[in-house]
Amino acid sequence: MVKEEPSSDYDLSLEVEPPPALEALLRAVEAARNGIVLTDPGRDDNPIVYANPSFLELTGYSLPEVIGKNCRFLQGSDNQQDEIEKLRLAIAQEKHITVLLRNYTKSGVLFWNELTVSPVHNERGQLINFIGIQNDISARLEADTRIAEFYSMISHELRTPLSSIRASLGLLDDRAEVITRHTGAENAHLVSIALRNTDRLIRLIGDIIDIRKIELGKLELNYTRFGVNQLVRDSISEVSALAGQSNVEIKVEPGGRLHLTADRDRILQVLVNLLANAIKFSEPGKTVSVRVTSLPRSTIKFEVIDNGPGIAASDARSLFVKFKQLDSSDSRRKGGSGLGLAISRSLVEMHGGAIGVNSRVGEGSTFWFTLAKQPRAR
């Protein structure tokens, strides 16, 4: 007696009752919200032999219109897509692949199909089917396009005119004495307020653009070797006006002659963010300290120490999250975008370092970050 090989033609409307495990699997595939098809590579042109209800709903076709066709029918005449060739190669090599295709419903409506294709082998390792899982991501791509347009608008339509306004206000502020003499001190004061708020908006736009670059992996680091002491002095210079307005003193604890190889501008940005944050939450007459220490394993630790209200442990965990601010009337009064600490964390981690905060309510806070003196392999 010759033993017949099992057919690769799946008839999922089995005439005999399937085992419980197989029945559960079939029900799960039928209930899935993803479009799922099985194709038979043993037949000419690798036709579809099964399609679940979600695939039919996604494409608008009936089951008889789908069975026996190659999946390429969904591309219609739009069959010169680069991803199609990648898909063909993966199928020929019996490999998993995910591609993004322009597909069309029965009524001709375009949808972007994120298609994952995987080979299915039997117990002897022989290829018996391909399974294709479809996801319509048209709405997500549309949202991504709108987001990209929003960031482009911020970068070009807002930052450029604001920079021009800032330059004009800066010239007027430089002539405060003249303005006071001819028009009164109040007008000079108004120019100063406009200048500070313009600077704040420019910093906010810069933060938004930075966070977008970080999300897209497009923010590049420019490594140079520099002295840490000068970096600290420059960071204090950046926040000196804010410290003066807040009547907060900044002290530096000597840390010796240390050098660091990193992206100087970005580490300066981190230090300025931490200093500005410490000043913002310090009462007039208080002191903010900067401490730099050399740790074992060629690591440098930066600390910004304030005598502010402190932070509860439950709040500290979310401080470095994008757009997250402390949920208190005091933090809302202080303002801020909720981006500075999130950007700082990303920049430090891009350098292979760590960042955190030690704080207790009523006892002030110490924000710190550590960096290797020499960059690790990138």
- According to DSSP, the residues that pair with 118 across neighbouring strands are 131
- Long-range Cβ contact pairs of 164-172 (< 8 A, separation 24 or more): 165/198, 166/195, 166/198, 166/199, 166/202, 169/194, 169/195, 169/198, 170/195
Question: Which pLDDT belongs to residue 149?
Answer: 81
Question: Which pLDDT belongs to residue 35?
Answer: 96
pLDDT of 326 > 60? The answer is no
Find, among 256, 227, 250, the residue nearest to 238 by Cα.
Answer: 250
CA-CA-CA-CA dihedral for 15, 16, 22, 27, to nearest 10: 50
Task: HSE, CB side, 13 Å, CA atoms: give it for residue 202.
Answer: 14
Find, among 143, 147, 163, the residue nearest to 208 by Cα.
Answer: 147
pLDDT of 168 > 90? The answer is no
pLDDT of 15 > 70? The answer is no
User: Counting runs of H as helices and runs of E as strands, what totals does the chain give?
Assistant: 14, 12
Handedness of CA 228, 234, 238, 243 (dihedral sign): positive
Q: How far apart are CA 240 and CA 247, in angstroms?
A: 10
pLDDT digits over 333-347, tens only?
A: 455 556 889 899 999
Q: How far apart are CA 357 and CA 368, in angstroms?
A: 6
Find, among 275, 243, 168, 162, the residue nearest to 209 by Cα.
Answer: 162
pLDDT digits over 231-258, tens only?
A: 999 999 989 988 998 999 999 987 778 9
pLDDT of 350 > 50? The answer is yes
What is the C-alpha R_g of the chain?
A: 31
The pTM score is 0.61
pLDDT of 330 > 50? The answer is no
